[in-house]
Amino acid sequence: MGEAIILLFLGDIDKATEVINAEWFLFLPSLYSFSIYDSYVNTFEKNKLYDKEQRAYIKFQQHYFLISNKMPIEKNESYFYKYLF
């Protein structure tokens, strides 16, 4: 197969058709099509899994942040100035 491709690039079409096996040549489009389809499906599924995990992580982080970092609320404004400056 590789030799036939090289001969096609060199312009020897007659030699390339003699070297190539038609059955294998007709098998290649289905092989490439399946490879493209399989890579697309795997990428799509992994992206869905990543989105699900990312959502769970962000939800956990937001919940943890809200519970552990409660800010004290006072009506006295001097409290805020004491910690800002």
Map out the domains of the chain as residue ranges.
2-84
| pLDDT value for 80 | 53
Q: How far apart, in Å, do the first and last CA atoms of the chain sit?
A: 76
pLDDT surpassing 70 at residue 38: yes
Residue 20 confidence (pLDDT): 84
Taken in order 32, 36, 38, 42, the sign of the CA dihedral is: positive
Per the prediction, the chain carries an average pLDDT of 79
Of 21-25, 27-31, 43-47, 62-66, the range with the lowest mean pLDDT is 62-66
pLDDT confidence of residue 68: 56
**Confidence (pLDDT) at 40:** 95
**C-alpha distances in Å from residue 77, one per residue of 56, 57, 69:** 37, 36, 20
